[in-house]
Amino acid sequence: MNFSVPTEAFIVLSMVLFVLGAMGVMLRKNAIIVFMSVEMMLNAANLAFVAFARQWMHLEGQVFVFFVMTVAAAEVAVGLALIVAIFRNRNSTNIDALHQMEG
Amino acid sequence: MSFELILFLALAGLAVLFAVGMLLSENAVHSALFLIGNFGCVAVLYLMLEAPFIGMVQIAVYAGAIMVLFLFVIMLLGAEQTTDTTRRFRWLTGAATVLAASFFSAIVAPIVLGGVVLPTPVQQGAMVRFVHAAGIPNDQAVNLTVSGGSLSEPLVLSDLNFGDVSPFFQLEAGTYNALVQTVDGAPVMPPAQFRVEDGTTGAASVIVFGEFNLDRGTFPMLSLLPQDFTPTAHNSARVLIFNAFGDPSLGLADLGPNQVVDTRRRSALDENGEPVVDDNGQPVQITTMDDPLLVPFTGAFTLSQPATVPSGTSAYALVDEQFNVVKPLFDFNLAQSNEHLIIVAPDYLQFGAGPGRYRPTVLRDPNLSIQLSAPFGSPASIGQVLFTDYLLPVNVVGMLLLVALVGVVVLTRPDTEKQDRRIVRRRKVSRPLTSVISTQTGGSITDEAPKLPQPQSND
């Protein structure tokens, strides 16, 4: 099967987006930005899923993307509620300020 | 460089730019807007990847719901300014960059250097069914014995009547021998072979056809008709004709409501639009058909090209090249998203004594029309998979969303315990006040005062 855009190109793009998201998680201090970076990593994984689903002509890849999106929606709702609760207590969304649990 | 590749490069560059913008933006609202742009680019890439449903869900769920939630929280908290002012963990920047770069190169380097070869899927073997469409005197049933190839023991289909269609069998690639006998064991045709190949055959009907006529020395034959069963567009059906009767060539016409072939005689025109004249200078007259010819004329013992036609019930007819109706198919239903294999076969008829004769008939086995699956990546196909193979995960994910909803309500609930404590403290403060007021006013209020517990400190 010959695709006009090879699957490898989509995988490389997916990796670029994933690594950018991972750097966002590691380098940014704002909890909301960190959360957005996590969403971008999930999205990059979804892109790889869909690319492989086309490569193998298997629908399971797209079905898993559907599940990942559902879980991401639930995760965002809970995560943002946590951020709101923390902000109410500490008046900040800086994750470096949250170190009550350090040993 | 194809249009799709240019589109991909443009969208990929845009997506990476949006991602970098999200990372570097000092304003959280700008970050969220950059991320929406990134998600939009990825949604278009999903469309290119034959995943239209996922693309639309990406727009609705990610760009719509999730990012609106993000913007709402950013504006609710007033946390737009995200300048990282802390001086701690400065060493993390270098470490994270090194980690990310090594992870990226570890996965991308083999792809770019060509070390990863993604194999293309090859369908193993084929789904094969057997059709008895041979004209045998007295309509005798036959036994079909298939051996060879990868079959460890012969596949025997017994008592196939004229027009019967067997279920599909999964056969590996290879050459198979077929032996057709009457139920009495008398051979009907010489041993025949058919070949199944990986990837090219897919699904096929092996058909026994032709006339068994000792006087004319004709015997049935065996042939493999490949069918692809790929999805068709909505409101259309795919039709193939196999002309197992012989001459004449047959085509499928849609006669319309009047149920007759509408023909018209007119002058023949050459490719320049000029009338064609014969040797005597007279214009040549040809007959054309006004009714649409759905499947082009198919010669003897050949399979037509698959034709995609509008679905529905109509008066169809198999016509020959002079537009005479060979076999009417009134009230024939070409169901939508089905692939119909119309087999015209010789049916043995006997009137009284003497040898019978053959007339064309269309096999009416319902298995000859197969419901095609929905197009790859369409909402219908994904829904089909979700609600059959993945019904339990769908329910679990639904429960998860419900739990998340309850969790959000619990997390964002006002802290009621703290409020209770505040009320108790206020009452403690107010008790000395009542005692002060009662001592100042005296009288009846001091009579009620002993009901309250006396304050600890009265100064």
Model pLDDT, residue A92: 81
- Which chain B residues have a beta carbon less than 8 Å from that of A76? 66, 69-70
| Per-residue pLDDT tens over the stretch A30-85 | 889 999 999 999 999 999 999 999 888 888 999 999 999 999 999 999 999 999 88
- State whether B440 and B388 are in the same domain: no
Where does the pLDDT of residue B149 fall: very low under 50, low under 70, confident under 90, or very high at 90 and above?
Answer: confident
Lowest mean pLDDT among B75-89, B299-313, B362-376, B411-425: B411-425
Say whether pLDDT at B339 is over 70: yes
- State whether B191 and B68 are in the same domain: no
> Bigger pLDDT: B368 or A67?
A67
**Ranked by mean pLDDT, which of A63-67, B217-221, B337-341, B356-360 comes out on top?**
A63-67
Is A12 within 8 Å of chain B by CB?
A: yes
CA distance B185 to B3: 62
- State whether B46 and B176 are in the same domain: no
Model pLDDT, residue B200: 67
Say whether pLDDT at B312 is over 90: no
In a domain, B248, yes or no: yes
Is A34 within 8 Å of chain B by CB?
A: no
Say whether pLDDT at A103 is over 70: no
Model pLDDT, residue B71: 92
- State whether B352 and B226 are in the same domain: yes
In a domain, A1, yes or no: no
- State whether B388 and B315 are in the same domain: no
Model pLDDT, residue B181: 85
Mean pLDDT for B63-85 is 83
Hey, which residues does B317 pair with through a beta bridge?
B253, B328
What single-letter amino acid sits at B118?
A: L
Number of folded domains that form chain A:
1
Mean pLDDT for A88-98 is 81
Half-sphere exposure of B279 (CA within 13 A, CB side): 0
Nearest to A32 among B23, B45, B79 (CB): B79
Model pLDDT, residue A40: 95
Where does the pLDDT of residue B431 fall: very low under 50, low under 70, confident under 90, or very high at 90 and above?
Answer: low
Which candidate, A96, A48, A67, A30, places its Cα nearest to that of B88?
A: A96
CA distance A50 to B377: 10
In a domain, B111, yes or no: no
In a domain, B223, yes or no: yes
**Ranked by mean pLDDT, which of B209-223, B291-305, B445-459 comes out on top?**
B291-305
Determine the residue of chain B that is closest to A56 in CA distance: B121
CA distance B43 to B27: 25
Is A90 within 8 Å of chain B by CB?
A: no
In a domain, B107, yes or no: no
Decide if B250 contacts B318 (C-beta within 8 A). Answer: yes
What's the complex ipTM? 0.95
**Ranked by mean pLDDT, which of A7-11, A47-51, B121-125, B133-137 comes out on top?**
A47-51
Q: Do B403 and A74 touch (CB under 8 A)?
A: yes
CATH number at residue A37: 1.10.287.3510
Say whether pLDDT at B231 is over 90: no
Hey, which residues does B347 pair with through a beta bridge?
B359
In a domain, B6, yes or no: yes
DSSP readout, B328-381? Answer: EEEEEEE-TTEEEEEEEEEEEE--SSS--EEEEEE---GGGEEEPPPPTT-HHH
- B444 lies in which domain range? 416-451
Mean pLDDT for B433-445 is 64
In a domain, A2, yes or no: no
In a domain, A102, yes or no: no
- A69 lies in which domain range? 7-97
